[in-house]
Amino acid sequence: PHSRAWWKEAIVYQIYPISFFDSNGDGIGDLNGIHSKLDYLKDLGVDVLWLSPIYRSPLADMGYDISDYRDIDPRYGTLADWDNLLKGVHDRGMKLMMDLVVNHTSDEHAWFQESRSSKTNPKRDWYIWRPPKYDAAGNRQPPNNWKSVFQGSAWDYDEKTDEYYLHLYVSKQPDLNWENPDVRQAVWELMRFWIDRGCDGFRMDVINLISKVDGLPDAPIAIPDEPYQPASMYFANGPRVHEFIKEMNAKVLAQKDLITVGETPFTHDASQLAAYVLPANKELNMVFHFELMDIDAAMGRDHSPLIPRDWKLSEIKDIVGRWQKYKRDEGFWNAIFIENHDHSRSVSRFGSDSERWRATSAKMLAILEITQSGTQYVYQGQELGLKNFPRSWGIEEYKDVASQNYWNRVLQHRKQEAGGAEVDMSDVLDGFQRKARDHARVPMQWDSTVHAGFTTGTPWMRVNEDYEHWNAAAEIADCTSVHAFWKEALKIRKANDILVYGDYTDLSNDNEQIFAYLRTLGKSKALILLNFSTEESNFSLPAHGDAEWTGFKCVLSNYNSTTEELEGCAIVLRGFEGRL
């Protein structure tokens, strides 16, 4: 069995600061706003807060573009406000995790300003600069064909020195050159800055992208007739990444009992990600894999996750099962999440956000989450069953640069093809309504007053229309709410080691309506039954060793009338029913 650790048992709550709570009426969430909601979080059962970036930033990618790692963006507050927030967190017995974004900086960071100033500047080599290539016609071209994750070339030309710099994300996010030991040293120092100030851990943004393949070769053609190609095979889990993270561990992380989680996209292969996590390697506590999150993305021609794809329950089971069972004997540890700031709302994706089923399916998904082995993550508003904003909202409500860039790209393409005729973009907006990151970024819904009580001013993003009934105050007052259910579910998880540490066995195989699994720890057993459809569904539990399916007591159910005990192996579950 797994060794115990506080961070394995912790409930982590992700805060997207700009949309959490605005304390001073400027329409932007801030640190003092978070401070004023600490009792709410403690009451919910949260142990650790993870703050999405709050450092100084031009917000080209909402703070994932940092211009000063050692200061708070004035829109969010000051270092003194951060100290005060940390004190409030610690006073309540909770911990605080920071977002560490060090694959790239902002182009407005002093390091990049120096780096771009001349080829001989000492910081020139802190970023990835290459001379242009010239095609047969003599036209200047980027050094290779890599496509930025957010569309277009991954290279930008800088006239001043007649070279290109690499940016895997937007132009305003130049990639740091981790090959340079001074860069690594600077990262260790900024990490120590926050550790010395009292921070309890880090979520590490795209940490598996920091080492690029030598020579930066052209990527194979995956998108025909396009100049720029997806190149993650050359920048994800690159040749020196484990060396760099081991160095980080030895030089920084090992000094304190921190919680560390790496964000590791572009990789579904558990054996690759295990290398970051297995305790023997001395790297990170855990990583976020995106195999489940990617399940409803078609990717398509432009290689964008904004095109939806229909999934089957058997695919979810396959993913959950494989990761639950992966290398447990060697200490592999999972991070369990179904929402974050990069994905639309789980009830809209995996449940049903219709009035009839919304609360029921959001609760069913809560059971799915709290009954998996791993550290539990909850994203702000998930505990309220918040859903995607409606299809009637136009493109102007989508503020995310990923949405905007993709929209503009498709629009341009279609305009060219139409040769002046009107173009129809409704299918793209259909996709956005299901898949855009924006849905997770609208203001948190606190109460039924104007702007959902998020701000007394004008919110930076429009508030979803359902806030009158779907808000924290209303749900706290209602013992049948999604919030009340999450609170109970987290209590049950904390009181039962089996849910954190137990082994996993799937019981339902290819059934496309019902997901049933067993968790075991020593002599204890936990049985989980989930119906992923609106239909009443039947199911027969398979033979289970020498034991009978009797004596299981229902400890959590999303229906208020439920049989107290399981009798025999015939199971009937109502629409979206979930039972533990």
Which are the catalytic amino acids? 205, 263
Q: Is 149 in the site for ligand TEU (CB under 6 A)?
A: yes
Residues in the chain: 580
Residues 6+ positions from 546 with CB-CB distance below 8 Å: none
Binding segment for Ca ion among 27-35, 44-52, 55-63, 118-126 (CB under 5 A)?
A: 27-35
Q: Which helix (H) or strand (E) holds 288?
A: strand 286-288
* Nearest CB to ligand TEU, comparing residues 86 and 204: 204
Structure tokens at 300: 């398509």
Q: Is 26 in the site for Ca ion (CB under 5 A)?
A: yes
Q: Is 342 in the site for ligand TEU (CB under 6 A)?
A: yes
Binding segment for Ca ion among 17-25, 241-249, 337-345, 360-368 (CB under 5 A)?
A: 17-25
Binding segment for Ca ion among 30-38, 153-161, 469-477, 536-544 (CB under 5 A)?
A: 30-38
Site residues for ligand TEU, 189-218, by CB under 6 A, read 205-206
On the CB side of 397, CA atoms within 13 Å amount to: 22
Residues 6+ positions from 449 with CB-CB distance below 8 Å: none
Q: Is 305 in the site for ligand TEU (CB under 6 A)?
A: yes
User: 57 and 70 in contact (C-beta within 8 Å)?
Assistant: no
Q: Is 244 in the site for ligand TEU (CB under 6 A)?
A: no
Task: Write the interaction track for ligand TEU spanning residues 448-487; mark x where CB under 6 A is met and - where it is not.
Answer: ----------------------------------------
What does 170 interact with, of Ca ion, ligand TEU, none (CB < 5 to 8 A by kind)?
A: none
Round to whole Å and give the CA distance between 49 and 38: 10
Q: Is 22 in the site for Ca ion (CB under 5 A)?
A: yes
In the bound complex, what is the minimum distance in angstroms from residue 449's beta carbon to Ca ion? Answer: 17
Give how far the C-alpha of residue 122 lies from the chain's centroid of Cα atoms, to the nearest Å: 36
What does 342 interact with, of Ca ion, ligand TEU, none (CB < 5 to 8 A by kind)?
A: ligand TEU
Round to whole Å and give the CA distance between 279 and 277: 6
* Nearest CB to ligand TEU, comparing residues 127 and 501: 127
- Residue nearest Ca ion, CB atom distance: 30
Round to whole Å and give the CA distance between 87 and 90: 5
User: 218 and 164 in contact (C-beta within 8 Å)?
Assistant: no
Q: Is 289 in the site for ligand TEU (CB under 6 A)?
A: no
Q: Looking at 1, 24, 412, 536, which residue binds Ca ion (CB under 5 A)?
A: 24
Among the listed residues 191, 182, 147, 167, the one whose alpha carbon sits nearest the alpha carbon of residue 103 = 167
What does 578 interact with, of Ca ion, ligand TEU, none (CB < 5 to 8 A by kind)?
A: none
Q: Is 383 in the site for ligand TEU (CB under 6 A)?
A: no
Q: Is 30 in the site for Ca ion (CB under 5 A)?
A: yes
Q: How many residues bind ligand TEU (CB under 6 A)?
A: 14
Q: Give first-to-last CA distance, the chain, whole Å.
A: 22
Round to whole Å and give the CA distance between 349 and 296: 8
Q: Looking at 230, 265, 374, 381, which residue binds ligand TEU (CB under 6 A)?
A: 265
* Nearest CB to ligand TEU, comparing residues 107 and 475: 107
User: 274 and 327 in contact (C-beta within 8 Å)?
Assistant: yes
Q: Is 102 in the site for ligand TEU (CB under 6 A)?
A: no
Among the listed residues 75, 94, 76, the one whose alpha carbon sits nearest the alpha carbon of residue 86 = 94
358-370 and 482-495 helices, crossing angle to 10°: 20
Chain positions contacting Ca ion, by CB under 5 A: 22, 24, 26, 28, 30
